[in-house]
Protein backbone atom coordinates (compact mmCIF):
# COMPACT_ATOMS: atom_id res chain seq x y z
CA UNK A 1 0.00 0.00 0.00
CA UNK A 2 1.34 3.43 -0.91
CA UNK A 3 1.32 6.10 1.76
CA UNK A 4 1.06 9.73 0.75
CA UNK A 5 1.80 12.80 2.83
CA UNK A 6 1.03 16.48 2.49
CA UNK A 7 2.02 19.37 4.75
CA UNK A 8 1.78 23.16 4.87
CA UNK A 9 3.90 25.36 7.12
CA UNK A 10 3.82 29.15 7.29
CA UNK A 11 6.86 30.82 8.84
CA UNK A 12 8.45 34.25 9.25
CA UNK A 13 11.88 35.17 7.95
CA UNK A 14 13.82 38.37 8.46
CA UNK A 15 15.71 39.49 5.38
CA UNK A 16 19.19 41.04 5.56
CA UNK A 17 18.05 44.25 3.89
CA UNK A 18 14.75 44.59 5.82
CA UNK A 19 14.16 47.92 7.54
CA UNK A 20 12.42 48.46 10.88
CA UNK A 21 12.47 44.77 11.78
CA UNK A 22 10.16 43.75 8.95
CA UNK A 23 9.60 40.02 8.58
CA UNK A 24 8.46 38.27 5.42
CA UNK A 25 5.89 35.45 5.36
CA UNK A 26 6.92 32.23 3.63
CA UNK A 27 5.09 28.99 2.91
CA UNK A 28 6.71 25.55 2.88
CA UNK A 29 4.74 22.86 1.03
CA UNK A 30 5.80 19.24 1.55
CA UNK A 31 4.42 16.42 -0.60
CA UNK A 32 5.67 12.86 -0.08
CA UNK A 33 8.84 14.12 1.63
CA UNK A 34 9.76 16.68 -1.05
CA UNK A 35 9.54 20.30 0.12
CA UNK A 36 9.43 23.66 -1.64
CA UNK A 37 9.50 27.13 -0.11
CA UNK A 38 7.81 30.17 -1.57
CA UNK A 39 7.07 33.71 -0.53
CA UNK A 40 3.45 34.75 -0.10
CA UNK A 41 4.58 38.32 -0.96
CA UNK A 42 3.40 39.87 2.28
CA UNK A 43 5.33 41.71 4.99
For 14-39, write each residue's pLDDT tens digit: 877 767 778 889 999 999 999 999 99
Domain map of the chain by residue range? 6-39
Contacts 24+ apart (CB under 8 A), 16-25: none
Type and span of the H or E element at 32 = none
Do residues 15 and 22 lie in contact, with contact meaning Cβ atoms separated by under 8 Å? yes
Higher pLDDT: 1 or 13? It is 13
Is the pTM value of this prediction over 0.75?
Answer: no
Amino acid sequence: MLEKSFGLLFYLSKQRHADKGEMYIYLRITVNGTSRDLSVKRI
